[in-house]
A and B are shown apart, each in its own frame.
Chain A
Amino acid sequence: MLAKNIYDVVVIGSGPGGVAAAIAAKQAGADDVLVIERDVEPGGILVQCIHNGFGLTSLKEDLPGPGYAQYYLDQAKALGVEFLLDTMVLDVTSQRKLYLSSQEHGYVDLEARALVMAMGCRERTRAQIRIPGMRPNGVFTAGTAQRWVNVEGWMPGKKFVILGSGDIGMIMARRLTYEGAKVERVLEIQSYLSGLTRNYVQCLQDYDIPLQLNYTIKRIMGKNRVEAIEAVQVDQRWNFVPGTEEIIPCDTLLLSVGLIPENELSRKAGVILDPVTGGPFVDETFQTNVPGVFAAGNVVHVYDLVDWVTEAGFGAGKGAAKFALAQKAAEQRYTPVKAGRNVRYVVPHKLDKQTLEQEEVHLQMRVTKPIEEDVWIEVHGENNSIVRRSERYVRPGEMVTVVLRPAHYAEVCKAGTLTIDIYPKSEA
């Protein structure tokens, strides 16, 4: 089991958005901050983005993705943020209860006073863009190939065509060239580049990798493994232009056709999504429509610069800490009242200490069974007795009342929970 089952702020996802949120939450005064990550190490997508270009705005340094991630991870750890790795969040309720499956701890449930969703985004796949033709092996998303080449250390092919001019695709074109592969072509259906111009210059132009705008794939050829693709030009309405077909031999096709915010968990928590961004509707503190549920980074909308993801994370973390502290103050104002020995229930279920300081409070209860002899009715805390009075007998049909007075205020404050026991004096 985990050390705690309630945290001030729980963050789902350890990418730059989540880590920034955790840092800001700590700095804004949250005591217990937990980051949950399904991968075996923290860092999110940045772990596989080994190229430089990160942190120019926020750190004034040109860092590779892993270095940028580590800068903030080191800071989070120094502040005492807790990390729970190799753990998948399976479900979340609108009351901020989380259900996790963890390699180390098994099935766990947790409560968060405030929650930050930072699950990032995932790539569009072939199924979502409908390319006709055969279904051979050798069609991957650019991000999957990036993970294999940069982290796991193996090359998915030798001769590549990349569909889509997104940043990940262009960056992979250069990376594959570095590793000795040939990138035959980058095809883009739109009339403009979908990634950054600087990536076109330093990833494609520098290595003479041809980019064709207004081009797409008509079909994929090959039985077991990709053998070629047929490229074709499209008009403004994306119709194929007859006579422009070209067969490009290759063994691997990479797709870099866009990212989708990963919001399945947000939906389970009752978060309403904007159909345009695919992410939650948020206010300026990145709070969603569900009170206490915040969102940071690519779950909100797809950013093109990690520096802005970090900045958004700081905003969400600060908002979450503020919410959590208000929640905690409200919890501390109240002391729960529990039915103890021979007591079936007590009303009220919790006591507002501020009220007790001013006026008397009546606790009313019923017993579980008749006790036909002298009894004690006792209200106590964990280590202190607060009030005790006697009764000649108690019966379930007759309600019992105990009065707490302002004079008891100091003793009540010492107790985490008030418990009421009713028992025969002979057993005292």
Chain B
Amino acid sequence: MEERNLICTACPMGCRLVVKMEGDQVLQIAGNRCRRGESFGRQEAIAPQRMVASTVRVLNGFHPLLPVYTKGTVPKKKIAEVLAEIRKVQIAAPVANKTVIIKNILGTGVDVVASRDMPAKA
């Protein structure tokens, strides 16, 4: 049996989790202050997931960049690829908050959306 020390990042409390594992099987999780910590610990021990936030270029925008983020978490291993996809995008202003910029990125089932309204340059 293996014991792993992880930190829950599901909220800013940052609880210290102790995850007992047997191979790829999670046997027990301790140290979480809430139920979300339980599912976070299970996921983190097997296949960690993260949200990703970055920017895309905007044409004729109030700012030259539009902030975007993944509406859900994607596998940590895929972050570099996700960023590479995001980097390819260029979009024309105006853009409304929550507009889907990339649908189902890399088949993860997660959309990349705008983080805010981006008006056109005055």
Listed in ascending order, the chain A residues whose CB lies under 8 Å from chain B are: 41, 50-53, 56-57, 62-67, 69-70, 150-153, 178, 196-198, 200-202, 206, 304-305
Whether A50 lies near B54 (C-beta < 8 A) is: yes
Chain A residue nearest to B50 in the complex (CB): A202
Whether B76 lies near A50 (C-beta < 8 A) is: no
Whether B97 lies near A198 (C-beta < 8 A) is: no
B101 CB, min distance to chain A CBs, angstroms: 13
Chain A residue nearest to B63 in the complex (CB): A151
- Inside 8 A of A304's CB, which chain B residues have their CB? 12
The answer to whether B116 has its CB under 8 Å from any CB of chain A is yes
Whether B12 lies near A178 (C-beta < 8 A) is: no
Whether A64 lies near B67 (C-beta < 8 A) is: yes
Q: B83-122: which residues lie under 8 A (CB-CB) from chain A? A: 83, 97-98, 115-117
Chain B residue nearest to A66 in the complex (CB): B116
Q: B11-51: which residues lie under 8 A (CB-CB) from chain A? A: 11-12, 14, 50-51
Bound complex: CA A21 to CA B78 (Å): 41
Bound complex: CA A153 to CA B59 (Å): 13
A–B Cβ pairs within 8 angstroms, 21 of them: A50-B53, A50-B54, A51-B53, A51-B69, A52-B53, A56-B12, A57-B11, A62-B51, A64-B67, A64-B69, A64-B115, A66-B67, A69-B116, A70-B117, A150-B65, A153-B63, A197-B7, A198-B8, A198-B9, A198-B14, A201-B9
Whether A50 lies near B115 (C-beta < 8 A) is: yes
Whether B55 lies near A150 (C-beta < 8 A) is: yes
A56-B11 CB under 8 A given contacts A70-B116, A70-B117: yes
- Inside 8 A of B14's CB, which chain A residues have their CB? 196-198, 201
Other than A53-B12, A198-B8, give 19 A-B pairs with Cβ distance below 8 A: A50-B53, A50-B54, A50-B69, A50-B115, A66-B67, A66-B115, A67-B116, A70-B97, A152-B64, A178-B54, A178-B83, A196-B12, A197-B14, A198-B7, A198-B11, A198-B12, A202-B9, A304-B12, A305-B12
Whether B55 lies near A153 (C-beta < 8 A) is: yes
B61 CB, min distance to chain A CBs, angstroms: 10
Whether A153 lies near B65 (C-beta < 8 A) is: yes
A243 CB, min distance to chain B CBs, angstroms: 32
Listed in ascending order, the chain B residues whose CB lies under 8 Å from chain A are: 7-9, 11-12, 14, 50-51, 53-55, 57, 62-65, 67, 69, 76, 83, 97-98, 115-117
Chain B residue nearest to A167 in the complex (CB): B12
Bound complex: CA A427 to CA B30 (Å): 95
Bound complex: CA A202 to CA B117 (Å): 27
- Inside 8 A of B57's CB, which chain A residues have their CB? 153
- Inside 8 A of B8's CB, which chain A residues have their CB? 198
A205 CB, min distance to chain B CBs, angstroms: 9
Bound complex: CA A359 to CA B117 (Å): 61
Chain A residue nearest to B86 in the complex (CB): A178
Whether A64 lies near B53 (C-beta < 8 A) is: yes
Bound complex: CA A206 to CA B73 (Å): 15
Whether B115 lies near A67 (C-beta < 8 A) is: yes
A310 CB, min distance to chain B CBs, angstroms: 14
Bound complex: CA A219 to CA B68 (Å): 38
Which of A41, A65, A201 sits near B7, CB closer than 8 Å?
A201
Bound complex: CA A59 to CA B70 (Å): 18
A50-B9 CB under 8 A given contacts A67-B97, A70-B97, A196-B14: no
- Inside 8 A of B51's CB, which chain A residues have their CB? 52, 62
Chain A residue nearest to B64 in the complex (CB): A153
Bound complex: CA A202 to CA B55 (Å): 18
Bound complex: CA A53 to CA B12 (Å): 8
B116 CB, min distance to chain A CBs, angstroms: 4
A154 CB, min distance to chain B CBs, angstroms: 9
Bound complex: CA A237 to CA B64 (Å): 46
Which of A52, A57, A206, A305 sits near B69, CB closer than 8 Å?
A52
